[in-house]
Structure 1
Amino acid sequence: MSYLLRFVDLFLHLDKHLSAVIQTYGATTYFLLFLIIFCETGLVFTPFLPGDSLIFAAAALAASGAFKISWLVSLLWLASVIGDNTNYWIGRTFGAKILEKGKIRFVKQEYLERTHLFYEKHGGKAVVLGKFFPIIRTFVPFVAGLGKMNYGRFLASNLIGGTLWIGLFSFVGFNFGNLPVVKHNFSLVIMGILFVSVLPAVFEFVRQRRAVLSALPPS
């Protein structure tokens, strides 16, 4: 339970924890941020890592001079692209074997099924749109590789999606994260980002649930 509380505290106070990391590790923090975004996008068993909120918090600190914004955005974008491509090729090369019973214990089947439905509905656009959905963005490249999506098409969509995702949250964090009202209510802002991020997925779940219920014969 204590580990869960620590994780929640880390999540909601990313600005303070990032500041402490910068003071301790200096420029190495760039590598740590790169690694977190790479793992969130490139490894199917780490979908819980912060993405949107981390980009926002790092960009907000860049506005106060803690990071060089051009380096930060470039590294996070590169981490996203490399992570997605790694995930795609893992899915394409080893996906069928990984999904065999017992070989993916750390991944909920529900996540894969939800992502598969998302991919079936949106096709190639799922690679772009999926960047804005927590958890789904981790599994879309894997499912695209598993489904043998044309690599050129995947790469183009991936570059667009990564640019929009990193660019949007970096822009918002850099331009608004340093405002007094945001700095004094950072936890609420992070919670708001999380809420907005998962809201479309909630709507989609409710819509699918209603569709299933309406298809059932009346009792």
Structure 2
Amino acid sequence: MSAYVFEPRPVAVVPVEGESRGFPVRRILCVGRNYAAHRREMGGDDRDPPFFFAKPADAVVPPGQDPAYPPRTENLHYEMELVVALKGGGSDVPTEEALDLVYGYAVGVDLTRRDLQTASREKGQPWDSAKGFDDSAPISAIRRWDGPPPQGRIRLSVNGEVKQDASVADMIWNVPEIVSEASKLWRLEAGDLIFTGTPERVGALKRGDRVEGEVEGVGRVAFQVV
């Protein structure tokens, strides 16, 4: 007899480059406004501590699959991001120890129902419906990584036209700082993914658009909005 009243959903898994075993996703945390130009683009210009929001683990869209255009929006936006994959966890992790928790990095797109986000922000309501919907986190395979975090070019194109083009080094809060700050709010665990924020020039997508993104040295993500 099953221990459950119904069979649990399989865990979300992201492939790992060069591995037959996948990376099981426990949770997705995301950092908002972590590039100065994007922060100005969205109406701010400061260096407050990083703020976080979450997506459910099953929002992941692994390589080879295409996200569906979500309901209840007429303004779906792309946000290209470096993603940190954790192999360990803890609470109140010092910045100088934060990289010890990192398994590797991936390339992700934080899809956002911008019209719902704007309405929620104006009313002081949470962003869950704007950020945490089905298929809202397309991602590349994870690349295992030792040493300092990636610092190279981050770019995204839609239908072959470059829309975002910046450098990961331009992040306001770097990877160790982000991991450390997150660990002050949650107990981090192996399997957590952290989307680290997007550069400027976010914009809208429509059904049929082909999206391609890259972080230099990490990998590429590609999908079509269906």
* TM-score normalised according to structure 1 size: 0.25
Q: Between the two structures, name the one with larger relative contact order (CA 8 Å, sep ≥ 6).
A: 2
Q: Which structure has the highest strand share of the two?
A: 2
* TM-score normalised according to structure 2 size: 0.24
Larger Rg: 1
